[in-house]
Amino acid sequence: MNALHLGRRRPAWPRLAGCAVALGLIAAPARPAFAAKPETARPIRIVLVGDSTVTDAAGWGLGFKCFLTDGAECLNASRGGRSSRSYLNEGLWQKALELKGDYYLIQFGHNDEPGKGPARETDPATTFPQFMARYVDETQAIGARPILVTPLTRRKFDPADRRKLLPSLVPYAAAVRALAAEKHVPLIDLHARSIALCEELGEEGCAGLSARTKDGKVDTTHLNPQGSLAFARLVVAELRRVVPNLAPVLRAEPAPLPVAAAAPAGSSPASDSNP
């Protein structure tokens, strides 16, 4: 037998197909011009909305950022001196919505109190919950998740019992709790948690967390960087509990505060408390 016939004959169709491609009779399989780069998921975006007690300069906002991992970013849209009414009317809320956050933490109350003037004050039984409901509804309308926060307590102690605070924001905190229950949205009860912490620390301990007025007195509304961390820790603990999906992006312990956060002694940002 001829040695050329000892091997198995190879089928002819692959060669024919190759010729057909070369002649343009059939199309060659398409090849990508370049390898597509895998998309990287952007961090979860958390937007803070409120008055100066939420800002980075005078509130718990700066400390809150220190508790976030690289899996989340925080945009602080809070503004000193604003109430639930004036923040809306000045167009600040629309700008906050344009940040396209995934979660919005919303806290008002300090400048809604009586004596703040008609452009800011609200009634905790009527207009305040109406404005707060609008924040909830409009957050949900853009596909984001609202989280209501009861107002950080003022740190004024009772002269008759220096172990107890004289909280002025109780009706506003109660209104936020009721609205959260009605709307079925997560609630961070910072008012209750901050009262408990302040009464545990006492007046002297709270002074160490407070900003100072221009004349060097303790500012019982605003926070220094250490106070920002202390009260942000309460916010984060509650957030981890009421929104478990965010737990992976919340640190157990905060990253170091930025060096620039150390404010000069005796200075205080513009106050949003009563004159």
Are the CB atoms for 104 and 147 separated by under 8 Å? yes
How many distinct helices (H) and strands (E) make up the chain?
Answer: 8, 9
| Domain limits, the chain | 44-255
Predicted pLDDT of residue 6: 40
Predicted pLDDT of residue 148: 99
44-255 sits in which CATH class? alpha beta
3-state secondary structure (DSSP) of residue 71: coil
Predicted pLDDT of residue 4: 38
| Alpha-carbon distances of 16 from 4, 7, 9, rounded to whole Å | 22, 21, 15
Predicted pLDDT of residue 41: 82
Q: List average pLDDT for each run of 10 residues in the chain, which is 275 residues long.
A: 43 43 44 52 95 98 98 98 98 98 98 97 98 98 98 96 95 98 98 98 97 96 98 98 98 90 49 43
Cα–Cα dist 253/77, whole Å: 24
pTM of this prediction? 0.83
Predicted pLDDT of residue 268: 53
Q: Write down the H helix ranges in 5-55.
A: 13-23
